[in-house]
Structure 1
Amino acid sequence: MAYLVDRAQLESVFPPEVLVTLDEAAAQDISHGPTRDFLRHVGLPDKPAAWFEVSEEVCDGELEIGFEEIAEHHPGLSFDPSHWVNLGGLSYDDIVLDASTGAVYCLPDDGGAPYLLNRSLDAFAYFLYLLEVERPNYDFETGDGTFEEGAENRLRAWMEAADDTAFSNPESAWTTVLQYVSTKLQ
């Protein structure tokens, strides 16, 4: 299966030991085939010092499915949180996966209504990859201190080209991440 990002690409910017995959037994609860395969063979970068920290449940391979309380707190949602799995945290928000569709949702830290963040898990992982590829152009702690201008604009253009749903919510977690990139450049 062709993903937006593969294991080799992730290993080109993240050490292999930080890429979290699921074994077959843990992955069996993910009913969406492409997402299950992605979690088995490609994985997610667990890099708390960077952008994303994988949940303990995923790291331990003990997935808990279902966020029914979200539906109770936010009646009228157009999606079903009973199939959600906690993936981890991005910025200050919780990130969940719909195990039946592969869509990735954001649960805002401020208690706001959840929203679609990425249409697929590979798109989410691709965004993390792009942030790491571009890191030498916005993070003073990496690289040689010379920046190629336009990191925030390049990242946004690449992200929008890969998954146009990522910025549908004006207060998207990705918007927050890119604001941080912009701030680091000032």
Structure 2
Amino acid sequence: MPRPNRPDNGRTTYSAATYPGDGRSMSNPPARLTAEAVDEVFPRGVVRPPAGAIPPGIKHRPTREFINGVGLPGEIRGRAAVIHEPADGGWQPLPDLWEEIREHDWTWTMPEHPEDWFYIGNIFGLGLLVIDGESGQVRFIPESEAGLFLLHKSVESLAYYMYAIERDGQKYSEAYAASIDKDPNDPRDKEGVFMEGGRALSAELYAFDPTPFVNDADEPWEDNGEGPWAWMIREISEGAWAE
């Protein structure tokens, strides 16, 4: 699987890799997201607030520019992951969220300067997404646990994960898998198509940002403590997202 290399200019690049199981080359890392790409996949639901609506506590300039310029997907299918609008207090400072939730016996260890951390969304049934306003990193608070774990190196990474999962929905569909299953010239069956889709998605996401993966992109759902995105990849690989 691709491992990051750091050339002299300090930028992270990725070596050539192969999607597990299907032999397709990934000699080039995924391109950076653009507003046009996000709008195409999410035509009715992009969180792209004006600069003045982004909380001033989000001080990391590249993060502010990405949110205002490219934007974050509002949600992926089935509301498996949701990003709130920041207007009208939609992005709560972490201390406010803590006060609200601790009544339900759910607390976590606060970081330094928690007033500059903001709750921006959810991964359904698993936990909360939080931005560190100083670094732009995205943290994850698992439901009913006390951790505050690094999930994404940037908001762009979070957006890319949501974008890639939603973009390839047709490849997870029952109709697509059935068409290949019935093709006498294609040896794959439906189960193989779904598994291939999960593996290809896993490899692409890992190449963009390996941070959410417990180990590497090869069958990430087999790990204990697999992380919040792995359950989606597992469901895709099992055909649970087929429509």
Decide: shared fold, TM above 0.5. Answer: yes
- In the alignment, is residue 84 of structure 1 matched against residue 117 of structure 2? yes
Question: 1:21 and 1:118 mapped to 2: Cα distance?
Answer: 19
- In the alignment, is residue 111 of structure 1 matched against residue 145 of structure 2? yes
Q: Deviations over 1:72-110 (max 9, x none)?
A: 9444x7x54712211111232211111111101111123
Specify every segment of 5 or more residues in structure 1 that has no aligned partner in the other structure, as ranges.
none
Alpha-carbon RMSD: 3.0
8 Å contact 1:23–1:61 — kept in the other structure? no
| Residue aligning to 2:229 | 174
Are the structure 2 counterparts of residues 120 and 106 from structure 1 closer, same or farther at C-alpha, using a change threshold of 3 Å? Answer: same
Identity, % of aligned positions: 24
Q: What does 1:6-45 correspond to in 2, within 5 Å?
A: 6-15=34-43, 17-27=44-54, 29=56, 30-45=58-73
Q: Deviations over 1:89-141 (max 9, x none)?
A: 1232211111111101111123251211111000110011110122112244x
Larger radius of gyration between Structure 1 and Structure 2: 2
Question: 1:144 and 1:171 mapped to 2: Cα distance?
Answer: 26
Question: 1:166 and 1:25 mapped to 2: Cα distance?
Answer: 30
Structure 1 SS opposite 2:118: strand
Q: Deviations over 1:18-69 (max 9, x none)?
A: 101112212251200011011111111112635322225x254653323484
Question: 1:160 and 1:66 mapped to 2: Cα distance?
Answer: 28
Which moves more between the two structures, 146-155 or 158-167?
Answer: 146-155
Count of aligned residue pairs for this structure pair: 178
Q: 1:53 aligns with which of 73, 82, 87?
A: 82
Question: 2:72 and 2:165 mapped to 1: Cα distance?
Answer: 14
Question: 1:139 and 1:116 mapped to 2: Cα distance?
Answer: 32
